[in-house]
Amino acid sequence: MLRVEHIGIAVKSLDISIPLFEKLLNAPCYKQEVIGSEQVQTAFFQQGETKIELLESMLPGSIIERFINKRGEGIHHIAFEVADIKAEMKRLSEEGFTLLQQEPTLGADNKLVCFLHPKTTNGVLIELCQEIK
């Protein structure tokens, strides 16, 4: 893994959480993006070489809504940047981790992404991401 690319935080309302994080980090939200396949709206903040990704559910029953209903707002996943996502998926699968998808999909901020099941990673949802060049 190259670095922590972002930390995903599930929030109920971007309208409330964007100004809150702008105050907290003393940095502007530099990008908002809708990811229809994940039924989320995102908002990004740069912090050194990593980012904070706020996630608000767009639809009832979405992954983010289910998470908030069960656990409340808070840290949802940690994303690691990798150089070659397919090679890393193969390595992690061979090491016994459960991949939540067999092929990378298009994520936010120009990335290919893949998730690992939190049951196989000490209860932490892990995202792998590779920049699309």
Ligand X SMILES: CC[C@@H](C(=O)O)C(=O)SCCNC(=O)CCNC(=O)[C@H](O)C(C)(C)COP(=O)(O)OP(=O)(O)OC[C@H]1O[C@@H](n2cnc3c(N)ncnc32)[C@H](O)[C@@H]1OP(=O)(O)O
Helix (H) / strand (E) element for 67: namely helix 63-71
Q: φ, ψ for residue 79 (rounded to 5)?
A: -110, 130
CB-nearer residue toward Co ion: 79 or 82: 79
Secondary structure (DSSP) of 82-111: -S-HHHHHHHHHHTTPPBS-SS-EE-SSSE
Interface residue with Co ion, options 2, 4, 7, 8 (CB under 5 A)? 8
| Cβ atoms of residues 26 and 46 within 8 Å | no
Choose from ligand X, Co ion, none: what does 58 bind? Cβ within 5-8 Å by kind. Answer: none
Interface residues for Co ion in 25-54 (CB under 5 A)? Answer: 53
Q: Which amino acid is at 87?
A: A
Site residues for ligand X per CB under 6 A: 8, 35, 38, 40, 42, 53, 55, 63-64, 66-67, 70, 76-77, 79, 100, 107-108, 111, 113, 115, 117-118, 123, 125, 127
| Nearest distance in Å: CB 97, ligand X | 13
Contact residues: Co ion, CB under 5 A? 8, 53, 79, 127
